[in-house]
Structure 1
Amino acid sequence: MSQETASWVRDVLAGRAEPVEPRPAATVMLVREGADPGGLEVYLLRRVSSMPFAPGAHVFPGGSVDRRDIDHEVRWAGPAPAEWARRLGAAEPLARALVCAAVRETFEESGVLLAGASADEVVSDTRGADWEADRTALIDHSLSFAEFLDRRDLVLRSDLLRPWSQWITPLAEVRRYDTRFFAAVLPEGQQTRDVGGEADHVAWMRPAEAIEGWRSGAMAMLPPTVSSLKDLAAYATLPGVMAARRTIVPIQPELREVDGEVRLVVPEGVDYPL
């Protein structure tokens, strides 16, 4: 933590500065069957060291909600936005935007698309120059998500997502996010690919293996990622993950000054591996 950041944290904790309003965001834990029977793997990206938020950290695909994610023209299949509002504990417009952001960001950062030609179909392959052109256009905002789906005559498959958790960046952080976590199974036929940009390394790993990498110091991670991996490690199969019924309760770690040092404290009751 830089001296400037530490000074800001102390100012917020002391009431001398107003906290930053958190931006709504969504992230998706993509899972697939592992090489060994009965196991599962999760997809992780390592953020490039130049990123202003969590540089070098291993994360799941995701990012901030775009203002166009709320677009009512987005083709939709599966549970309606009103049902997602209930599941996520959010107003309906925000719930719609969060689901759209989850699907859009997953495609932008992994090449995996949770959409299909109908409510019963899923795109089988997203490789090729034409798909890459659309992915790049989404990233540079020259193409909206609604336009992308229209162009390819696809519908967003909200039923392929499972709500998992909600984490809010500590009050005293300079950059803050209110992030909903989702789980989704890698669609049959699709493959993740190293798309570059915000990540310099990608990997499929068993949740327990990733946690050990964090414990050993080989893999940097933020608390929400570690805690989510611990959650996933408790499920042996993909059906178990997708059948999980989770109550979404906002989790907000705290930054506290202890003996002159700023430390992160995870709330009691959160399953956080030590």
Structure 2
Amino acid sequence: MSEKAQKPLVPAATILMLRDGEQGLEVFMVVRHHQIDFASGALVFPGGKLAPGDVLPDVRPLCDGADDLDDELLALRVAAIREAFEESGVLLARDESGALIDGKRLLSLEADRPLLDKGALPIADFLTREKLHLACDLLEPYAHWVTPKMMPKRFDTHFYLAIAPSDHVAMHDGSEGVDSVWISPAQALEEAKVGKRTVIFPTRMNLEQLAESKTVAEAFDAAKARTIVTVEPQVEDRDGTMMLTIPAAAGYSVTEITMDSI
């Protein structure tokens, strides 16, 4: 594909919703519907592209932790929280008391998930009506991946860590996500290895990195200590073998891999 024919990058955000389970760190993941045109049938973290309402100026006053973020970075956090609500039912938002909403309040907002997903309800209108503020300050930047140039659809995706409130019941939406699971990173990787799950390369790399932490606190500490390096995989032809490479500085276990093994 020529430079002129390359698809534009679509800004997107993905959220790794974490909790401490009985056996250690767990992350919430969804199985994408087989008819979705990107990563269909794959086990993924909730997320998606920015919606028009995420970038409007009237959203900023409704976000906690917005002061140190430019408009682009704030919109990405808004998208991450919105997508988490749409795809998992978990909403990182505070009420007028300054406390995170509880499970009972969350249940009363269930009917708004599909409206937000379809764009029928802009996020600012939703927050204003419910007198809520998004808890953007609770997101921890984790990774930044850009889809390779040869792909027909390209995303510029920022990954964030978040802690799931203990009384929020996470559940897939039944539309984009057809199944969901709280799972340890190690188990997700093992199930992908034996063919039980489909896990795409960026997800696998971030699961491997997450598996280095045993608790939520360890995962957050590791993320805060890590310098995020943008990963845009490159494809090289080495004597007839197509190789995919990523920057060593990004800190993943793999820096190159054959395309047929992805």
Superposition TM-score, scaled by structure 1 size:
0.84
Classify the secondary structure of the residue corresponding to 1:204.
Answer: strand
**Structure 2 alignment gaps of length 5 or more:** 258-262
**AA of the residue aligned to 1:271:** Y
Hey, what does 2:82 align to over in structure 1? Answer: 104
Of residues 9, 18, 22, the one that matches 1:35 is: 22
**Structure 1 alignment gaps of length 5 or more:** 1-11, 85-91
Tell me if structure 2 keeps the 8 A contact 1:76–1:158.
no
Alpha carbons of structure 1 residues 255 and 57: separation in structure 2 relative to 1, 3 Å: farther
- Kindly state the Cα deviation for residue 105 of structure 1 after the two structures are TM-superposed: 0.4
Of residues 44, 59, 74, the one that matches 1:59 is: 44
2:237 and 2:198 mapped to 1: Cα distance? 22
Hey, what does 1:134 align to over in structure 2? Answer: 112
Of residues 138, 141, 156, the one that matches 1:178 is: 156
2:134 and 2:180 mapped to 1: Cα distance? 25
Of residues 70, 74, 79, the one that matches 2:65 is: 79
Hey, what does 1:69 align to over in structure 2? Answer: 54
**2:128 maps to 1:150:** yes
For residues 26-70 of structure 1, the C-alpha deviation after alignment (integer angstroms, 9 at most, x for no partner) is 00000111123xx11001111111111111111100000112101
Hey, what does 1:44 align to over in structure 2? Answer: 29
Alpha carbons of structure 1 residues 119 and 234: separation in structure 2 relative to 1, 3 Å: farther
**2:251 maps to 1:266:** no
- Kindly state the Cα deviation for residue 237 of structure 1 after the two structures are TM-superposed: 1.5
Alpha carbons of structure 1 residues 16 and 177: separation in structure 2 relative to 1, 3 Å: closer
Of residues 13, 20, 23, the one that matches 2:7 is: 20
Tell me if structure 2 keeps the 8 A contact 1:68–1:145.
yes
Tell me if structure 1 keeps the 8 A contact 2:26–2:185.
yes
**AA of the residue aligned to 2:74:** R
Of residues 60, 66, 71, the one that matches 1:93 is: 71
- Kindly state the Cα deviation for residue 256 of structure 1 after the two structures are TM-superposed: 3.9
1:148 and 1:73 mapped to 2: Cα distance? 12
2:84 and 2:97 mapped to 1: Cα distance? 19
Q: Single out whichever of 46-55 and 174-183 deviates more from structure 2.
A: 46-55
> Which contiguous aligned blocks of 4+ residues in structure 1 show a shift greater than 6 angstroms?
none
Q: Single out whichever of 225-234 and 235-244 deviates more from structure 2.
A: 235-244
Classify the secondary structure of the residue corresponding to 1:97.
Answer: helix
1:127 and 1:156 mapped to 2: Cα distance? 13
